[in-house]
Amino acid sequence: MSLAVVNCSQLVTLAGPLRPRVLGEMRELAIIKDGAMLMRDGVIEKVGARVEIEPLIEAGCEVIDAGGRVVMPGFVDAHAHPVFAGTRADEYEQRALGATYQEIAASGGGIRSTVRRTRAATLNELVNAGKRYAEWFLRNGTTTVEAKSGYGLTLEDELKILRAIKRLNEETPLSYVPTFLGAHDVPDEYRARRAGYVALVIEEMLPRVAEEKLAEYCDVFCEEKVFTGDESWRILTAARCHGLGLRMHADQLSLSGGAKLAAELQAATADHLEHTDTEGIKALKAAGVQPVLLPGSVYALGSTRYPAAREMIEAGLAVVLATDFNPGSSPTPSMPMILSLASTHLKMTPAEGITAATINAAYSLGRGDQLGSLEAGKRADFVIQDCADYREIAYFFGIEHVRQTFVEGRSAYRRGA
Ligand code: NIG
Ligand code: FE
């Protein structure tokens, strides 16, 4: 089955070296003006100027006219918690009235309130809730999402969430990369004996998750009052022995040494980093760890403590942007909203934002060879944005930019359809 897209005012290809982009490279989007793209069986065959591509279009090929709009790779959202039951609209209201995220968590709400609801839900209920969010991702131009467990916190409930992620990957057009986050919080029944919970994660959960091949990565929420550096080290070291890649929630609410630990473990990513200092940034650079910045959670928590994105870019880190979609700290699936926050608050240019949300994100998930740019041989995951200049995606905020989203050359969302 062959497919062509023509009449792209800007074909934002992100073609470039076969590695994550750093420094000035983050501003190079390899845009083809009046571009076009040929695809076959869900894979990109050729990308170029319209005049070069159009003569190659064979009879029987489906041709999509982008109408002079921007065409770019689907967003790769490298940090999300998209499987949970219920919402926390009640806590959002309490926070508007002055309560803080940490106060709510300390009194048994926060992550643990979503855990109670998620434990009570069936696999089917989680899949159905997840399908609603899958549609939100696609309608905002995301074609691949990293998906963490972490709202079960018992062996069976963590497996249930990971099985829901597997089903969502099979039953929706969105691609999911599963991450085991058994160490998201210490559940209610282990509050008085936390060592027992760490042992459960290491001795029972990790072996089962690995044996059933339900996750590619393991993540830990390393934070004061959650998991200490030592506990995080033990869990992540065990995960590595089971063949899992490593990611980490690091230095989100305080400078707890998370970035340094991620560097010591040579994790794939260190995520959040709102409190990371210059030393932490140097450690990440020396170890080749990619920072995943999540300005949606800073914004939604009403904080002004954004991560030091410019310092990270200038230090040569291959910065990634993601939504952190979850029911508590960041209830948005929208990468365009994240690009707006990145330009306004992280002082990243719109081009740097797009690089961080596509090719760099793909590399952080071990998929840089398949996703994140529009180049021959890559998966035909692309988006037609309703603008002629890619900078408008970050600039106009609070609107829906996407006109149509394609996954493996098939339409996965079309506005108004
Ligand atoms: O990335 N920091 C820990 N986990 C999430 C929040 C999850 C929640 O509040 O439900 C985060 O911000
Ligand atoms: Fe998170």
* Interval between CA 249 and ligand 2 midpoint (Å): 7
All domains in the chain, ordered by first residue: 2-73+372-414 (2.30.40.10), 76-364 (3.20.20.140)
Closest CA to 79 of 233, 184, 160, 200: 184
* pLDDT > 90? residue 1: no
Q: What is the pLDDT of residues 83-115, one digit of tens each?
A: 999 999 999 999 999 999 999 999 999 999 999
Q: Rounded distance, CA 273 to CA 310, Å?
A: 13
Give the number of the ligand closest to the Cα of residue 222: 1
Q: Rounded distance, CA 402 to CA 142, Å?
A: 10
Q: What global pTM score does this model have?
A: 0.98
Q: Please state the atom number of ligand 1 nearest to the C-alpha of residue 249.
A: 2
Q: Please state the atom number of ligand 1 nearest to the C-alpha of residue 324.
A: 1
Give the number of the ligand closest to the Cα of residue 80: 2
Q: Rounded distance, CA 136 to CA 405, Å?
A: 11
Q: What is the pLDDT of residues 118-177, one digit of tens each?
A: 999 999 999 999 999 999 999 999 999 999 999 999 999 999 999 999 999 999 999 999
Contact 267, 248 (CB under 8 A): yes
Determine which helix (DSSP H) or strand (DSSP E) holds 8, and give its type and residue range. Answer: strand 2-12
Q: Rounded distance, CA 64 to CA 129, Å?
A: 32
Q: Rounded distance, CA 250 to CA 273, Å?
A: 6
Token pair listed for 139:
């309608």
* Interval between CA 328 and ligand 1 midpoint (Å): 6
Q: Rounded distance, CA 372 to CA 53, Å?
A: 21
DSSP of 338-374: HHHHHHHHS---HHHHHHHHTHHHHHHTT-TTTSSS-
